[in-house]
């Protein structure tokens, strides 16, 4: 195996398992860090995106951020491959977005707090269409209230979060859950529509 082929495969591995970037030894960081600097510089040149310190951003993440719909990413965040993110979106520090997620900030935006972990194929849409029966849905105006996700939240794979929802700090959202109402701090949620099934503070 050539060095070029090894690095290409390792880049793909990191793109789908970005937490591995933060465990790389100096020998691997020697090529991985300049690669990441180049990836992030290209995104910033093309879109209204800013990155904090020591982030990992897969080049196969799809970031779209017009000047009025920017994306702000805090320190030590990780964004995996095949995700779609359309601003306005703000990520705190140490936020992880796994592969295949789909986020659209509408006009009011999505805000995600520090140390929140979001598993693969999660959808968050901070807008909604009108549903008046006399007009085709695609011709109706969209409304946007925004989505706020607190700190230290864990959102399981394939969960869905609708516009207008606030998820409190330290909550846990189960796999395939659909969040249609505000979630209290520390609540464990499951189902469609999701309901409280426990409290994280009891898991000691």
Q: Are 181 and 166 in contact (CB under 8 A)?
A: no
DSSP 67-99: TTS-EEE-TT-EE-TT-EEESSEEE-TT-EE-T
Active-site option among 86, 99, 129, 132: 132
- 179: tokens are 């969040």
- Residue carrying structure tokens 């990413």: 73
Using DSSP's 3-state secondary structure scheme, residue 58 falls into: coil
Torsion angles phi and psi, residue 128, rounded to 5: -150, 150
- Residue carrying structure tokens 């789909």: 102
CA distance 194 to 62: 28
129 classed as catalytic = no
CA distance 184 to 197: 12
CA-nearest of 27, 101, 117, 105 to 72 is 105
Catalytic residue numbers, as ranges = 132
């Amino acid at each position: 195996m050539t060095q070029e082929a090894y690095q290409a495969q390792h880049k793909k591995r990191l793109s789908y398992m970005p937490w591995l970037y933060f465990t790389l030894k100096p020998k691997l960081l020697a090529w991985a860090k300049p690669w990441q600097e180049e990836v992030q510089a290209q995104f910033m040149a093309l879109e209204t995106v800013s990155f904090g310190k020591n982030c990992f951003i897969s080049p196969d993440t799809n970031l779209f951020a017009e000047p009025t719909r920017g994306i702000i990413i805090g320190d030590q965040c990780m964004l995996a491959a095949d995700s779609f993110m359309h601003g306005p979106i703000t990520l705190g520090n140490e936020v992880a977005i796994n592969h295949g997620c789909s986020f659209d900030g509408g006009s009011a935006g999505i805000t995600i707090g520090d140390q929140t972990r979001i598993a693969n194929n999660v959808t968050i849409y901070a807008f909604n269409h009108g549903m008046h029966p006399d007009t085709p849905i695609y011709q109706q105006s969209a409304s946007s209230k925004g989505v706020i996700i607190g700190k230290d939240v864990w959102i399981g794979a394939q969960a869905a979060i609708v516009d207008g929802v606030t998820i409190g700090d330290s909550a846990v959202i189960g796999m395939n859950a659909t969040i249609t109402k505000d979630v209290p701090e520390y609540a464990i949620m499951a189902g469609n529509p999701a309901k409280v099934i426990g409290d994280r503070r009891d898991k000691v």
